[in-house]
Chains A and B, each alone.
Chain A
């Protein structure tokens, strides 16, 4: 097994409630994420998993609850602030920049590392060029890691689905995140692509020590790669623990399989 050590709690979500008008997307949900762990969020369709991720990185703002990230307490995240704090994510429906090449998409992932202003970039020679080349180097490392060298100049709109998913992971990795949020990274993939993706996720966790929070429907994958699992159903938390604990939790079983009344 990997040499990584699971550390202290770095992200603590307390009593999060999110409503859209009268629809309760999330009700009083609390769980935490430890440093370097792979944390899965599972649940049936419409359970509020994606909403949960959106709360974590500030796309949605919960009506109630507290988010504590590295000891810093806040009521809600702002998407930009979350990116600066070291969150990166992928989306359920691929959200790449379709008109741009793979390389440009990944470079965009590093936008927070680029410090020159637009005038320096307009002049190009000098700091802007130096910065561009340094970051190109970093992006090439990600390209190398994800084995997508052959498509680096291809517009992402032309790539097949599985590769687009991989490029989106690359864009998130390019930002060198502390916490990586993955929204169904394996949805719609065949077995081989799933295996590749699993390998990449575990390697990221292992080599860079990145904390990973992922949503996934493939139970085999979830039980294999995650350290702890939180289970949501109808916007409520019904289970939380190691894969084995969750598997044997009667409430979880009833949510997934139904119960006899």
Chain B
């Protein structure tokens, strides 16, 4: 079956406004979801699930969160890790103190992050661009400091480390890698769908309007303050839920120092490499940054063995970093709009293949 739209006529606006207007895309995404929900749990081993797929999904969610704020609403932020921390410690405390089921606790953790996000988003009403990024740095330092300084947040554990409680949903225990993977996948899929719905309706258009030309946005009746703060709230909510998932489904034990500026930068890189202002790009970016080092690790050793060169592990890990850095620069030079744009160009070329135009 070729990738063609021929014969697929839209006769209603509803048909024209689907997320995937092309039939082949709908089939592809259906297959992908089937593989992710049914195939992967059957074949993937514990290493793949716990060390690769779960972190990939979690970081894709955090990247999605930052992409909403930076890519769609145009507000630069360096506080993503802080909002993740709020989500993680929020969920921990809701479960610990109120004995809540995990899903509401995750959502409330996300809401805590949203509140903190709104608070640190307030400067965006006056400042833009790099200056705003510096203002969000305050969130980064303040949150990590606060969580370390006030023992209450970590239930007075001596080192500030929290240990995720046992999870269950309706009596069904979430303790194996497969069940954790399925939980993460479900939450991430639903939130990604909701993000897509938001960005294709008035909320998203208002964000992009503020990003592209804020004076014009205001003149046509978009309230700047509400729109920017909503972007901060939704973005931080996504980061917060990602943080809670990171604590409960990925790491198990986590301390405030895990959520450093380094992590914020990592998420920002995922946004840039994946594609600024693209939902799909968030997944590409997370995959690239998380999978590539692992891939290099797997590939490099046998590669040198092939040529009979014996090198130390230290050199290989340094080479990994260098190749990784080189590839990031290469991809950005080839396509500054990220992998999502490359993907889009590829699809457009495929539509008219074998003709060039």
Q: Quick check: B221 and A80 within 8 Å, CB to CB? A: yes
Complex-state Cα separation, A123 to B201, whole angstroms: 11
Partner of B17, one of A80, A108, A123, A133: A133
Check B166 for interface membership: any CB of A closer than 8 A. Answer: no
A97 to B221, Cβ gap below 8 A? no
Instruction: Give residues of chain A (147-199) contacting chain B, Cβ–Cβ below 8 Å.
Output: 171-172, 175
Q: Bound state CA distance, A79 and B223, in angstroms?
A: 9
Residues of B within 8 A of A121 (CB): 197-198, 201-203
Asked if residues B220 and A109 are in contact (CB atoms below 8 Å), the reply is yes
Q: Is the CB of A108 within 8 A of B201?
A: no
Q: A59-B219, A80-B223, A137-B13 are in contact. Are A95 and B213 (CB under 8 A)?
A: yes
Q: Digitize B315-336: 1 where CB-to-A-CB distance is under 8 Å, 0 elsewhere.
A: 0000000000000000000000
Find the B residue at minimum CB distance from A99: B212
- The CA of A88 and the CA of B220, in the complex, are separated in Å by 6
User: Which residue from chain A places its CB closest to the CB of B201 in the assembled complex?
Assistant: A121
B222 at interface (Cβ–Cβ under 8 A)? yes
Query: Is chain B's interface secondary structure helix, strand, loop, or mixed overall?
Result: helix
Q: How far is the CA of A112 from the CA of B194 in the complex (A)?
A: 22
Contact partner of A108 (CB less than 8 A), chosen from B194, B198, B209, B215, is B209
Q: How far does the alpha carbon of A118 sit from the alpha carbon of B229 in the complex, in Å?
A: 13
Q: Which residue of A lies closest to B72 (CB)?
A: A99
Taken together as a complex, chains A and B put the C-alpha atoms of A98 and B210 apart, in Å, by 11
A111 touches B208 (CB 8 A): no
Q: Please give the number of chain B residues whose Cβ is less than 8 angstroms from any Cβ of chain A in the complex.
A: 29
Is A132's CB under 8 angstroms from B201's CB? yes
Which residue from B14, B203, B206, B219 sits with its C-beta under 8 Å from A83? B219
* Chain B min CB distance to A36 (Å): 22
Nearest residue, chain B, Cβ from A81: B221
Q: Which of A95, A99, A100, A111 makes the CB contact (< 8 A) with B202?
A: A111
Assess whether A4 is interfacial by the CB under 8 Å rule.
no
Determine whether B211 belongs to the interface, using a CB cutoff of 8 Å to chain A: yes
Are A118 and B205 in contact (CB-based, < 8 A)?
no
CA distance A132 to B220 in the complex (A): 18
Given the known interface contacts A84-B221, A109-B220, A111-B220, the answer about A100 and B205 at a Cβ–Cβ threshold of 8 Å is yes
For residue A234, CB closer than 8 A to chain B, the reply is no
Report the bound CA distance from A102 to B222 in whole Å: 18
Q: Using Cβ atoms and an 8 Å threshold, which residues of chain B touch A99?
A: 208, 211-212, 277
Q: Is the beta-carbon distance between B215 and A136 smaller than 8 angstroms?
A: no
Say yes or no: is A210 at the interface (Cβ < 8 Å to chain B): no
Q: Is B209 in contact with A124, judged by CB distance below 8 angstroms?
A: no
Known contacts A97-B213, A98-B212: A80-B234 contact under CB 8 Å: no
Would B213 and A107 count as touching, CB distance under 8 A? no
Q: Any chain B CB within 8 A of the CB of A6?
A: no
Within 8 A of A (CB), among B287-342: none
Which 3 A-B residue pairs are closest in the complex by CB-CB distance? Answer: A83-B221, A95-B216, A97-B212
Interface CB pairs A-B, < 8 A, 18: A59-B215, A59-B218, A83-B220, A89-B219, A97-B212, A97-B213, A99-B277, A100-B205, A104-B205, A107-B202, A108-B205, A108-B206, A108-B220, A111-B209, A111-B221, A123-B197, A172-B220, A175-B220
Supplied contacts A99-B211, A122-B203, 18 more A-B pairs, CB within 8 Å: A59-B218, A79-B219, A83-B219, A84-B221, A88-B220, A95-B213, A97-B208, A97-B213, A108-B209, A108-B220, A112-B221, A116-B202, A118-B234, A122-B195, A123-B194, A140-B13, A172-B220, A175-B221
